Amino acid sequence: MLGLMQDWPLLCTKLIDHAAIIHPDREIVSRSVEGPIHRTTYREARLRALKLAQRLEREGIRSGDRVATMAWNTWRHFECWYGIVGAAAIYHTLNPRLFPEQIAWIMNDAEDRILFTDLTFLPLVEAIAPKVPSLGKVIVLTDAAHMPATTLPDVVAYEDWLAEADGDFAWKVVDENTAAGMCYTSGTTGMPKGVVYSHRSNVLHSMIAQQPDAMGLSSRDRVLPIVPLFHANGWGMAFTCPMAGSGIVMPGAKMDGASVYEMLTRERVTVSAAVPTVWLMLLQHLETTGDALPDLRKVIIGGSACPRVVIQKFQDDYGVQVIHAWGMTETSPLGSLCSIKADCQDLEGEALLDLQEKQGFPPFGVEMKITDDADRALPWDGKTFGRLKVRGPAIAKAYYKGQGAEFFDADGWFDTGDIAHIDPQGYMQITDRAKDVIKSGGEWISSIELENLAVGHPGVAEAAVIGLKHPKWDERPLLVVVPKPGQTLCKEDVLGFLEGKIVKWWMPDDVAFVEEIPHTATGKIRKTALREQFRDYVLPTASDTNG
Amino acid sequence: MLGLMQDWPLLCTKLIDHAAIIHPDREIVSRSVEGPIHRTTYREARLRALKLAQRLEREGIRSGDRVATMAWNTWRHFECWYGIVGAAAIYHTLNPRLFPEQIAWIMNDAEDRILFTDLTFLPLVEAIAPKVPSLGKVIVLTDAAHMPATTLPDVVAYEDWLAEADGDFAWKVVDENTAAGMCYTSGTTGMPKGVVYSHRSNVLHSMIAQQPDAMGLSSRDRVLPIVPLFHANGWGMAFTCPMAGSGIVMPGAKMDGASVYEMLTRERVTVSAAVPTVWLMLLQHLETTGDALPDLRKVIIGGSACPRVVIQKFQDDYGVQVIHAWGMTETSPLGSLCSIKADCQDLEGEALLDLQEKQGFPPFGVEMKITDDADRALPWDGKTFGRLKVRGPAIAKAYYKGQGAEFFDADGWFDTGDIAHIDPQGYMQITDRAKDVIKSGGEWISSIELENLAVGHPGVAEAAVIGLKHPKWDERPLLVVVPKPGQTLCKEDVLGFLEGKIVKWWMPDDVAFVEEIPHTATGKIRKTALREQFRDYVLPTASDTNG
């Protein structure tokens, strides 16, 4: 027997409709790429998104077509998302920080037909466009007055192009499982893989995010999404803010400490979200200027593990609550958030920070487990670590064109590629990437934990740990170290520093000193390159069968 | 093109799974019907619900079967809901305050197969059961020690019955549109009509409720749902609390001021929800004792319009935030909630109360409009009132067996039967029931507004306004008044009191003094009976064609 409740599909366009009707005058304030601060409202943004959808249709865009954006967070980029999904097309965010060849490969894989881009990226687009045969028009997110000369054959200023539509358009109504967005994982190994969000997953993800223990945005909040829309579905904030009726403050191209501080203050921002690097820059800026953060009540920090000092400074020095979070492009992206449960409310000082260094527990809508290599579930004891697998309505079940099938279990779990432990209260902490964990005698050693400890040595600028083949233990850790300028370090120095901080069998078998550690375009350590570099390296213990 | 996100059906059982895994030790504290306080946890509740589902299956309950409950809010009633939906059956809550014949009619309409009931209602059930041929076993929510003698032929104590299962059971996995629950509208006119909730609508309703501007429960909250589970789907709280990981405090059978205060205080309740009558009793109790409410941060008040004084006292005297809300059995039930938007944050005193007397704006997931009799949309100016129509994924599209088809538009809107105005910010205020509004010369007069004003007269105990046929104006208002004991009132007294408070053409054409106004089982004025009573009444203006 079926229920008798309304068939009301979960469509992204319902979000901007809600905001425009119930919170019509709530502002979207942006630092424009051209320079000045720009102000608009949900009512106006919806009208322009309607024009955009209408205009895209006239451009020949049809249901399921991929429309790319390579743009900063501004009101125009926000309008693009809604206009694209409103035309039943698919927004495909491109990360301009990838190598040009990677971007071209991704655009060809997705067969993007139109590209919206900012002035900033025009030279990059000029280089890429000839390599992408599917690409037609390039629409530059500016007005005619700011339109530069360009070698692109089919190009137009956004404001001119949009002005040709009157907005007399009705959103395309589609099944809620229809594709709405695409984002490729940058991936430290292999080719990028496309994640395809549906209308349903985006709406449910926002509802998941709206729970008070997750992001929990209210209509009274003014939210600064520093995390770019092109990073992991923009953490869903282009959908969650309209759902909440929150004001939005868009940082444009400027994410340095002074610029972020300026937007936080002049627009009285109450909630913000970004990766740790951005917050480190802000905190450094504040320490220099001595400024405070009177309006900011909460920051959501994810993308990589948040340093303890960032949490501590925000809370102790500025009275700002930190929500440490974990997620991936494949999880829309919210996977877990470290809010404080009732049992932990009395924690303070170091004990509180110990908890907040964890990436937190999954909200309703995300299921988690940790497993060993045989896919057996491991206990939630806060110590045992295993492969982190997740399940939920806003989590990928496959990559575009069937790539990476090995990450998806037959029973519907997605293997995150992360290694984590979970405590009895459900608080999860990432300890490593699966491909970087060192498998020594059937037990796992976390490369990240060793790296984090090693960089605590006053003479170490950067550290990386990789597993090298070992005749007896299968793999053993090699610690690769970049000494700080002018410092002379020896193996015994560094290993001595680790002693007592780790169990004995975690101790690296050797230390290699290098001038530089290879990085990806997004700043992560390229362990594949490092493993290649040390492929023929022989550990001192490797010939010693008692090692 | 479809998205590539996981097929994760929105099932009610996912809610208790989430709570049991992520918030396993969070307590459900109940005042038992037997007397003592009872404590359990989400982990334990889930295990017992699994046993219940297993046991129901052994009892022959199959997918889609209706299983009734007539019970107070306790941990056992909570378990019943999850056990029933976990067996793919349908929980059907019965309101024990209805007339026995009505309950029997409803049970026959629903063809209930099993009934869970509290000790309190056993005499009532004994009277009803012989009239319900479909009813098999009656399960009394108590243990063997408390089991009384009964004339029921097939009856068992819940704890004995449950103990026969071991809980080695997996929730039935069904399509998310499968029916999960049923609740009949009590209806002041006509026969009761069945609303059939789906798994999807219940889960989405909880996600809607979890938005910070709606109920917004956190894992740190301890929630006292005073509103009975048998009223309008229990306001969804049996689903929303586990989603949030909130503690639950169940009041059992006692809802008087002293009992509610005792639970609020001893269990340090932070959020509660009930109809205005309950709060009036609590506030009276507090005024007598001089006690305070240090832990309570928020109360959600709905079911009928909340008196201004209740809002004012909670906020000014006790520091408790009031969320005035509106909803119906047909809307799962949340339709709108009066939280304070950014623009209204500076309001205080009377201006704030003016706002809070409104039933608020719809959260994402509820669409609203007001229309005239020709179904034309009316403006949101805060003055023009019309029929309130709603749309959303947790709003009925039909009643059980196709009853009441006239309430559902072809384009998917549900006609609430309420009359309301909406202001430019989306704040809605109910002004009347459609069947009670007085249609005078093509314009509408709100019977409720007149009644609210009339009871402000110091000599008036109760007032009701009905429309009587009028040769010129179609209908004109008659004010029916119950004077306070010992008071002598005349028409001029009462109408003189209204003068200046309403526009002239709203002035009732006559006042009738009565000793009693008829009420429904749930305490609402029975205007049908009143109209019947005054069917032959002739208004003094009715013979005067200039009247």
pLDDT tens profile B126-144 = 999 999 999 999 999 999 9
**Shortest CA distance from A331: residue in chain B:** B5
- The nearest alpha carbon in chain B to A336 belongs to B22
Q: Which residue of B10, B222, B426 is in closest CB contact with A21?
A: B426
| pLDDT tens sequence across A72-121 | 999 999 999 999 999 999 999 999 998 899 999 999 999 999 999 999 99
Contact list in B for residue A10 (CB cut-off 8 A) is 393
Mean pLDDT of B513-527: 84
What does the pLDDT look like over B228-282, one tens digit per residue? 999 999 999 999 999 999 999 999 999 999 999 999 999 999 999 999 989 999 9
What is the per-residue pLDDT across A145-193, written as a single tens digit (0 to 9) for each?
Answer: 999 999 999 999 999 999 999 999 999 999 999 999 999 997 655 689 9
Set of chain A residues whose Cβ sits within 8 Å of the Cβ of B247: 342
Which residue type, as a one-letter code, is found at position A337?
Answer: L
pLDDT score recorded for residue B544: 58
Structure tokens at A59: 């451009």
Which helix (H) or strand (E) segment is A282 a member of? helix A276-289
Per-residue pLDDT at B396: 98
Quick one: closest CA in A to B392, which residue?
A: A8
ipTM over 0.95: no
The string of DSSP codes covering A444-459 is EE-HHHHHHHHTTSTT
pLDDT tens readout for residues B398-431: 999 999 998 998 888 999 999 999 999 999 999 9
> How far off is chain B from A362, nearest CA to CA, in Å?
8
Amino acid B373: pLDDT: 87
- Could you tell me which of B132, B40, B37 has the C-alpha nearest to residue B92? B132
Q: What local confidence, expressed as pLDDT, does residue A520 receive? A: 76
Task: Find the closest chain B residue to A360 by CA distance.
Answer: B22
Question: A220 and B342 in contact by Cβ < 8 A?
Answer: yes
* Chain-chain contact of A213 with B218 (C-beta, under 8 angstroms): yes
First to last CA, chain A: 66
Min Cα distance A533 → chain B (Å) is 37
Shortest CA gap A370–chain B (Å)? 13
B524, amino acid identity:
K
Instruction: Report in angstroms the alpha-carbon separations of A70 from A77, A118, A273.
Output: 9, 7, 20
Of A23, A364, A393, the CB nearest to B6: A393
Q: What is the DSSP letter of B395?
A: S
Residues of A in contact with B180 (CB under 8 A): 3
* Catalytic choice (B369, B435, B439, B491): B439
Using CB atoms and an 8 Å cut-off, which of residues 368-397 of chain B contact chain A?
A: 391-397
With contact defined as beta carbons under 8 Å apart, do B186 and B168 qualify? no
Higher pLDDT, B456 or A363: A363
User: Is B340 within 8 Å of chain A by CB?
Assistant: yes
Q: How far is B406 from chain A (nearest CA, A)?
A: 15
Please, which residues 60-79 of chain B have a Cβ atom closer than 8 Å to chain A?
Answer: 63-64
Q: What is the residue-averaged pLDDT of chain A? A: 95
Give the residue-averaged pLDDT of B213-227. 98
Across A42-174, the runs of DSSP E, i.e. the strands, are 66-70, 90-93, 114-117, 138-140, 155-157
Nearest to B179 among A2, A364, A426 (CB): A2
Minimal C-alpha gap between A73 and chain B (Å):
23
- Report the gap between the CA of A540 and the closest CA in chain B (Å): 46
Chain A's closest residue to B25, CA to CA, is A425
Residue showing tokens 């028009």: A137
What residues of A are annotated to the active site? 185, 330, 439, 444
d(CA B173, CA B7): 12
Q: What are the start-end ranges of the E strands in A471-514?
A: 474-483, 510-513
Nearest chain A residue to B239 by CA: give it: A364
Q: How confident is the model at residue B209 (pLDDT cuts 50, 70, 90)?
A: very high
By the CB < 8 Å criterion, does A398 face chain B? yes
Q: Which of B1, B41, B90, B233 to mutate to test the interface with A (most CBs of A within 10 A)?
A: B1
The alpha carbon torsion through B46, B47, B53, B58 (nearest 10 deg) reads 180
What CA dihedral angle connects B314, B319, B321 and B322, to 10 degrees? 0
Nearest to A251 by CA among A30, A28, A81, A27: A30
Cβ–Cβ below 8 Å for A23 and B177: no
Work out the mean pLDDT of chain B and round it to a whole number.
Answer: 95
Is the CB of residue B545 less than 8 Å away from at least one CB of chain A?
Answer: no
Three-class SS of residue B464? strand
Nearest CA in chain B to A346: B220
Judge residue B496's burial from the number of C-beta atoms within 10 Å of its C-beta, 0-12 exposed, 13-18 middle, 19 or more buried: exposed
How far is Cα A77 from Cα A464, in angstroms, rounded to an integer? 37
Closest CA to B145 of B159, B125, B164: B159
Distance in Å, alpha carbon of A425 to nearest chain B alpha carbon: 6
What H or E segment, with its residue span, contains residue B281? helix B276-289
Instruction: Work out the percent of chain A whose per-residue pLDDT is above 70.
Output: 98
pLDDT in tens, A228-243: 999 999 999 999 999 9
- B118 and B72 Cβ atoms separated by less than 8 Å: yes
pLDDT for residue A411:
87
Share of chain A above pLDDT 90, in %: 88
Tell me the sheet residues that pair with B421: B429
Do A3 and B197 count as a contact with CB atoms less than 8 A apart?
A: yes
Task: Identify whether A333 is preceded by a cis peptide bond (ω within 30 of 0).
Answer: yes
Strand A321-327 and strand A298-301: pairing?
A: parallel
Query: Does position B323 have pLDDT exceeding 90, yes or no?
Result: yes
Dist. CA A308–CA B307, nearest whole Å: 49
Q: What are the CA-CA distances from residue A254 to residues A33, A72, A73, A262, B24 (Å)?
A: 9, 9, 10, 10, 44
Cβ contact B426–A22 (<8 Å): yes
**Are A200 and B5 an interchain contact pair (Cβ–Cβ within 8 Å)?**
yes
CB contact under 8 A, A7 and B343: no
What pLDDT sits at residue A547? 43
Query: Computed from CA positions of residues B469, B186, B90, B63, in that sequence, does the dihedral angle turn out positive or negative?
Result: negative
| CA-closest candidate to residue A425, choices A354, A371, A530, A491 | A354
A154-193 burial by CB neighbour count: b if 16+ within 10 A, else e?
A: ebbbbbebbeebeeebebbebebbbbbbbbbbbebeeebb
- Would strands B321-327 and B298-301 be described as parallel, antiparallel, or unpaired? parallel
With beta carbons under 8 A apart, name residues in chain B contacting A218. 212-213, 216, 339
Is B309's Cβ below 8 Å from some Cβ in A? no
Asked if residues B10 and B176 have their Cβ atoms less than 8 Å apart, the reply is yes
Average pLDDT over residues B170-189: 90
Q: Do B21 and A426 touch (CB under 8 A)?
A: yes
Asked if A148 and A119 count as a contact pair (C-beta separation under 8 A), the reply is: yes
In degrees, to the nearest 5, what angle opens at C-alpha A143 toward C-alphas A139 and A149?
Answer: 70
Interface contact B45, partner A, CB < 8 A: no
Of A312, A324, A270, A323, nearest in space to A293 by CA: A270
Mean pLDDT by 10 residues, chain A (547 residues): 98 98 98 98 98 98 98 98 98 94 96 98 98 98 97 97 98 98 80 95 98 98 98 97 98 97 98 94 96 97 91 97 97 98 95 97 98 95 96 98 91 94 97 90 88 90 93 93 92 94 93 91 82 92 63
Q: How far is B198 from chain A (nearest CA, A)?
A: 4
* Binary contact (A341, B243; C-beta < 8 A): no
Within an 8 Å CB–CB cutoff, is residue B199 touching chain A?
yes
Among A2, A197, A367, the residue with its CB nearest the CB of B3 is: A197
pLDDT at B107 over 70: yes
